[in-house]
Amino acid sequence: MATHHTIPSCDVLHHLLRKRIQAPGQEAVIDAEIRHTFEREKTIFVLDMSGFSRIVLKYGIIHYLAMIQRMREVTAPAIQNAGGMVIKFEADNCFAVFDEPTQAIVAIRAIKKELAALNAETPDESDVYVSIGVGHGSILLACDDMYGNELNLASKLGEDVAEKDEVLFTDAARARVSSDIAAFEAIPILVSGVEIHAHRLK
């Protein structure tokens, strides 16, 4: 992980949340302390590998675990080199943050290029494909996790909506990328019954 970022301890967050529970009437004061300590404006990157059920059913879990390892070895340095930070790897997902969506695009292009090169050298059953969701906004960032609306949207896009090899941005993330950096295609989607606009990175 990148060393130029610092993340407050989860112990501090848990202490403040316990304090909030135990001190009725002080919620506003404690909430302000939590926001001051943990709230950051970040670009959120959520990556999910494609084909879990099909591959595990046909080739077994160890085969897929090896594919996850390959994904992690490609993804972590690409994120670091673009100025981002991996928050956590969880199963076949990667959660990371950047200061700006343009940095995420640099990482995404590097990841896609490296995976394509590796896939050209491996049999089809070992090829790694990913889908990615990108958001931008205020999140609570603590130790190895993060919380916030744009995280929820990026997770929905990356894990549930985006198809194999597809990258989708939220409105907020798309708005911070100029047309000379990247091109997008707007697509309407439903999130919890509410229609929002996602933007497919071309």
In the block, which residue shows the tokens 């199963």? 91
**Contact predicate 46/98, CB 8 Å:** no
> Is residue 24 a part of any domain in this protein?
no
Looking at the chain, the whole-number percentage of residues with pLDDT higher than 90 is 86
Query: Residues 155-168: pLDDT tens digits?
Result: 999 999 999 999 99
Q: At what angle do helices 101-119 and 61-81 cross, to 10 degrees?
A: 140
| pLDDT interval class at 144 (50, 70, 90) | confident
Q: Has residue 20 been placed in a domain?
A: no
* DSSP β-ladder status, 93-98 and 194-201: unpaired
Is 13 inside any structural domain?
A: no
Q: For the whole model, what pTM was predicted?
A: 0.93
Predicted local confidence at residue 195, as pLDDT: 84
Residue 26 included in any domain: no
Residue 21 has pLDDT above 70, yes or no: yes
Q: Is residue 65 part of a domain?
A: yes
CATH assignment of the domain containing 124? 3.30.70.1230
- Look up the domain containing 76 and give its range: 40-201
Per residue in 152-201, pLDDT (tens digit) is 999 999 999 999 999 999 999 999 999 999 999 999 888 777 888 899 99
Q: Does residue 18 lie in a domain region?
A: no
Residue 178 counted as domain residue: yes
pLDDT at 5: 58
Closest of 31, 45, 42 to residue 138, by C-alpha? 42
Residue 3 has pLDDT above 70, yes or no: no
Domain count, the chain: 1
Q: Sign of torsion, CA 94 99 103 81?
A: negative
Residue 62 resides in a domain: yes
